[in-house]
Chains A and B, each alone.
Chain A
Amino acid sequence: MSQPEKHKQTVVALVENKPGVLNRVASLFRRRNFNVDSLTVGRTHKPHISRMTIVVDAQRTDGRRIAANLFKLVNVIDVKLVSEEPYVSRDLALIKVRTDDVDSRNAVTTICDRYPARIVDIGTKVAIIEITAQEDIVESLIHELEPIGIVEMVRTGVVAMGRGVRIVDADYEPPILAHTEADAYQVYGV
């Protein structure tokens, strides 16, 4: 299987699941003048740990510099440049296209058949296509749909994971016993 574009680098960071951590990461990128193609954050199977996937264009910003700087943030538990070895990456897009005549409906169906995409909503005016694939394949589908008429689109940004037994994970329990009362302030660490 082909790897995503060669000049793209993908950094995975495990961060403490606390308010403000995303702000710290974004602030770091801004003040170091790092150009980032995409940044996604989501929860992991461990409640205290969130996982970020950061894709950069290595011709503009060196992923290793990003990793070294992320490592300095106290709330960042671990950082890996996953694109240095084989890895899987996925981007999800919802694309709303015009389907207000027979030609456009047929074209959308034909194009989607050639992609790991499906039509999740269709009406007499528009349809929503969902695709989950490597970033370049998503780009390619978008390119083909453009002539038909894209009216709205949203993408999640890339998530990535190293292949095989290379595991990015951390054994980490928060240092302070969590106060679980619903109204407790959790602004700790900003």
Chain B
Amino acid sequence: MMLTGAEIVMECLLREGVEIMFGYPGGAILPTYDAMTKYPQIRHVLVRHEQGAAHMADGYARATGKVGVAIATSGPGATNLVTGIGTAMMDSSPIVCITGQVPRGAIGSDAFQEIDITGITLPITKHNYLVGDVRELAYVIKEAFYIARTGRPGPVLIDIPKDVQNEKIEFEYPEGPVRLPGYRPPSMASEEQIQAALDLIHQAKRPIILAGHGIVMAGASQELRELAERAQIPVALTLLGKGAMSEQHPLVVGMMGMHGAAACNYAIQEADLLIALGMRFDDRVTGNLKTYSPNSRKIHVDIDPSEINKNVKVDVGIAGDVRTVLAQILPGLQSMTHPEWIGRIRDWQEDGNERDILNYDTGDRLLGAQVINDLWHYTGGDAITVTDVGQHQMLEAQYYPHQRPATMLTSGGLGTMGFGLPAAIGAKLGRPDEEVWAIVGDGGFQMTMAELATAMQEKVKVNIAILNNAYLGMVRQWQEFFYEERYQATPMFNPDFVKLAEAFGIPAMRVTHRSQVEESVRFARSHETTVLIEDAIEKEDIVYPMVPAGADLHNMIRRPKPGEKQG
């Protein structure tokens, strides 16, 4: 069969099981856009900015576990993808980005819309390709999808010159396995490693499991629960590990780290064994490394060998797939109990509950915590929530306990404002039967709000809750704590979000009182289109607890108990 390069691209996407791609056309990618007309099986979603395409592909990938696909033209089209690619890289999200490039003969001549996108994205992709020969194209695409989804997943970019897209050859799909001699992701642990891990677990008096994104991506929730239950080990979750185990399970203590549950952080500091599963000891999780969990032995399981001993030196480091490794550990695992240790954690939790803002009389004020908690309540705690970055993100993590993996999508590693709305659109397109809420702040929302048009054009139903405090809230919080309340460049002049929504034909309502949150959920559910809710929340609120950057994990700024003064 004679096919052009562009048709080969579509043919290969089809073979990879791609059902949807997010993109924006332009000169250098036009041959591939033209070829799309012959492949109506693959839906194309027209975004309003290429960053949106990358985030949508990312949200789609996180929600479904499949590879998300973004497509853009050369030059600015390609550079606009960069933030989204970096976001996917930091959170190990499998996406494939296809970019057009100027014709081969023009490469290096500063041609119109020419940019060295493979050079630019080299440090922020798992791998990337500039396709120099149409005969390589099918191999490259097959490799790209394989690399993106296996091992530690991540973004792969394929840059295809326009003349390669136009060139016609006799096409034969490369059947059989991908041959990549230098790409061998680890999978299993050795028997010695398993025995060493089991010995540490069986000796531990104060163990705690640190469960991360790896559990979600490896689909190891079942194995994690078995480990925790049989050995009665409390579980702390990372931000991206939320939902790795039902957060209503009595053994789940909550989220760890900078804005984590105080009980979690105290437990980590006092533990005699950390069992880190599919997490990478990010600085937002550890605080000061020198004082981090000083008296514990440490087991670390991660698919990426370069993560072992990177930030925290461990006693047993296992480079492997966390599900496979847990399945190796479980047969040798004895039943254990740690009543005293768990009792200790309960005391810390009790203290945390006393400080919970929800137990305060806050009068007429509408607080972000209340909005999130009520959203949790009225959505039955079962929605897919996609957040942006900032105070609302941390409040979501604290006040929206998830029961299932891959139901809380957020930009953790890169902390990309503007991620929320496009990622929510991608998630909804991947999981159309789920109720999807984009929970965003007024700052981040305005970075990518043009995608409201995408949601309407593509008839995607996303419920948007903007927690509007007319501030860049998290930055303002830092300014309040660490810069003597000098609120430089954090107050926001915002548009009327309800009117803005109406301009896009989006039903919208404003919530100013707590009693309206329930109504807003009903309002959102009563429309088949995307809906926007503006929650006008307290302007100068603080997310507690907080470990200041670089401080010891146990030295949190806590919310004072009622009647207590801020220490």
Please determine whether A188 and B129 come into contact, CB atoms closer than 8 angstroms.
yes
Please determine whether A69 and B306 come into contact, CB atoms closer than 8 angstroms.
yes
Given contacts A74-B127, A77-B181, A172-B181, contact A188 B310 (CB under 8 A): no
Stretch at the interface among B20-28, B77-85, B134-142: B134-142
CB-CB under 8 A from B140, the residues of chain A are 188
Please determine whether A188 and B132 come into contact, CB atoms closer than 8 angstroms.
yes
CB-CB under 8 A from A16, the residues of chain B are 181-182
A115 to chain B, nearest CB (A): 39
B146 to chain A, nearest CB (A): 10
Q: Which of A161-190 contact B (CB under 8 A)?
A: 170, 172, 175-176, 179, 184-190
CB-CB under 8 A from A126, the residues of chain B are none
Please determine whether B305 and A27 come into contact, CB atoms closer than 8 angstroms.
no
B74 to chain A, nearest CB (A): 15
Given contacts A76-B182, A77-B182, contact A189 B305 (CB under 8 A): no
Q: Which residue of B lies closest to A76 (CB)?
A: B182
A24 close to chain B: CB less than 8 A? yes
B180 close to chain A: CB less than 8 A? yes
A→B interface (CB under 8 Å) = 15-16, 20, 23-24, 27-28, 31, 64-65, 68-69, 71-78, 170, 172, 175-176, 179, 184-190
Query: A77 vs B147: C-alpha distance in the bound complex, in angstroms?
Result: 15
Q: Which residue of A lies closest to B135 (CB)?
A: A179
A93 to chain B, nearest CB (A): 32
Of the candidates A23, A64, A71, A75, the one having the most CB atoms from chain B within 10 angstroms of its own CB is: A71
CB-CB under 8 A from A69, the residues of chain B are 306
Please determine whether B104 and A170 come into contact, CB atoms closer than 8 angstroms.
no
CB-CB under 8 A from A27, the residues of chain B are 122-123
Query: A159 vs B128: C-alpha distance in the bound complex, in angstroms?
Result: 29
Please determine whether A176 and B139 come into contact, CB atoms closer than 8 angstroms.
yes
A17 to chain B, nearest CB (A): 12
Query: A26 vs B181: C-alpha distance in the bound complex, in angstroms?
Result: 21
A-B residue pairs, 3 tightest by C-beta = A185-B132, A187-B132, A68-B306
B133 close to chain A: CB less than 8 A? yes
Q: For B306, give its contact among A71, A75, A187 (CB under 8 Å).
A: A71
- B173-188 vs A, CB cutoff 8 Å, 1 = contact: the mask equals 0000011111100000
Query: A65 vs B313: C-alpha distance in the bound complex, in angstroms?
Result: 12
Please determine whether A71 and B104 come into contact, CB atoms closer than 8 angstroms.
no
CB-CB under 8 A from A187, the residues of chain B are 107, 130, 132
Query: A170 vs B184: C-alpha distance in the bound complex, in angstroms?
Result: 14
Please determine whether A74 and B104 come into contact, CB atoms closer than 8 angstroms.
no
B→A interface (CB under 8 Å) = 104, 107, 118-119, 122-123, 126-133, 135-136, 139-140, 143, 147, 178-183, 304-306, 308-310
CB-CB under 8 A from B128, the residues of chain A are 190
Given contacts A75-B182, A185-B104, A190-B128, contact A31 B123 (CB under 8 A): yes
Please determine whether A188 and B179 come into contact, CB atoms closer than 8 angstroms.
no
The contact sample of 5 A-B pairs, CB cut-off 8 A, is A28-B123, A68-B305, A73-B182, A74-B127, A170-B181
Query: A27 vs B135: C-alpha distance in the bound complex, in angstroms?
Result: 28
A82 to chain B, nearest CB (A): 18
Please determine whether A65 and B306 come into contact, CB atoms closer than 8 angstroms.
yes
Query: A86 vs B488: C-alpha distance in the bound complex, in angstroms?
Result: 60
Please determine whether B133 and A188 come into contact, CB atoms closer than 8 angstroms.
yes
Please determine whether B136 and A188 come into contact, CB atoms closer than 8 angstroms.
yes
B163 to chain A, nearest CB (A): 10
Q: Which residue of B lies closest to A181 (CB)?
A: B133
Please determine whether A188 and B131 come into contact, CB atoms closer than 8 angstroms.
yes
CB-CB under 8 A from B123, the residues of chain A are 27-28, 31
Q: Which residue of A lies closest to B181 (CB)?
A: A172
Q: For A179, give its contact among B133, B143, B309 (CB under 8 Å).
A: B133
Q: Which residue of B lies closest to A75 (CB)?
A: B182
CB-CB under 8 A from A189, the residues of chain B are 129-130
Q: Which residue of B lies closest to A13 (CB)?
A: B182
B359 to chain A, nearest CB (A): 46
Q: Which residue of B lies closest to A21 (CB)?
A: B182
Please determine whether A176 and B136 come into contact, CB atoms closer than 8 angstroms.
yes
Query: A76 vs B180: C-alpha distance in the bound complex, in angstroms?
Result: 10
Query: A186 vs B135: C-alpha distance in the bound complex, in angstroms?
Result: 12
Given contacts A31-B123, A68-B305, A176-B139, contact A74 B147 (CB under 8 A): yes
Query: A95 vs B133: C-alpha distance in the bound complex, in angstroms?
Result: 44
Q: For B180, give its contact among A31, A74, A184 (CB under 8 Å).
A: A74
Please determine whether B180 and A175 come into contact, CB atoms closer than 8 angstroms.
yes
A165 to chain B, nearest CB (A): 22
Query: A68 vs B186: C-alpha distance in the bound complex, in angstroms?
Result: 12
CB-CB under 8 A from B308, the residues of chain A are 68
Q: Which residue of B lies closest to A68 (CB)?
A: B306
B223 to chain A, nearest CB (A): 25
Q: Which residue of B lies closest to A175 (CB)?
A: B179
Query: A27 vs B119: C-alpha distance in the bound complex, in angstroms?
Result: 10
Q: Which residue of B lies closest to A49 (CB)?
A: B181
Q: Which residue of A lies closest to B134 (CB)?
A: A185
| Given contact pairs A74-B127, A189-B130, a sample of 18 additional A-B residue pairs in the complex whose CB atoms are under 8 Å apart | A15-B182, A20-B118, A23-B119, A23-B122, A27-B122, A27-B123, A65-B306, A68-B306, A71-B305, A73-B182, A74-B147, A77-B182, A170-B181, A175-B180, A184-B132, A188-B131, A190-B122, A190-B130
Query: A16 vs B143: C-alpha distance in the bound complex, in angstroms?
Result: 15
CB-CB under 8 A from A186, the residues of chain B are 132
Q: Which residue of B lies closest to A30 (CB)?
A: B123
Please determine whether A72 and B304 come into contact, CB atoms closer than 8 angstroms.
yes
Q: Which residue of A lies closest to B122 (CB)?
A: A27
Of the candidates A23, A170, A172, A187, the one having the most CB atoms from chain B within 10 angstroms of its own CB is: A187
CB-CB under 8 A from B182, the residues of chain A are 15-16, 73-78
Query: A187 vs B131: C-alpha distance in the bound complex, in angstroms?
Result: 7
Query: A188 vs B131: C-alpha distance in the bound complex, in angstroms?
Result: 5
A171 to chain B, nearest CB (A): 8
Query: A176 vs B402: C-alpha distance in the bound complex, in angstroms?
Result: 46
Given contacts A71-B305, A188-B131, contact A65 B310 (CB under 8 A): yes
Please determine whether A190 and B118 come into contact, CB atoms closer than 8 angstroms.
yes
Of the candidates B132, B140, B308, the one having the most CB atoms from chain A within 10 angstroms of its own CB is: B132
CB-CB under 8 A from B310, the residues of chain A are 65
CB-CB under 8 A from A170, the residues of chain B are 181
CB-CB under 8 A from B118, the residues of chain A are 20, 190
Query: A28 vs B130: C-alpha distance in the bound complex, in angstroms?
Result: 19
Query: A27 vs B308: C-alpha distance in the bound complex, in angstroms?
Result: 21
Query: A64 vs B304: C-alpha distance in the bound complex, in angstroms?
Result: 14
CB-CB under 8 A from A15, the residues of chain B are 182
Please determine whether B139 and A175 come into contact, CB atoms closer than 8 angstroms.
yes
Please determine whether B183 and A74 come into contact, CB atoms closer than 8 angstroms.
yes
Q: Which residue of B lies closest to A171 (CB)?
A: B181
Query: A69 vs B310: C-alpha distance in the bound complex, in angstroms?
Result: 10
Query: A73 vs B183: C-alpha distance in the bound complex, in angstroms?
Result: 7
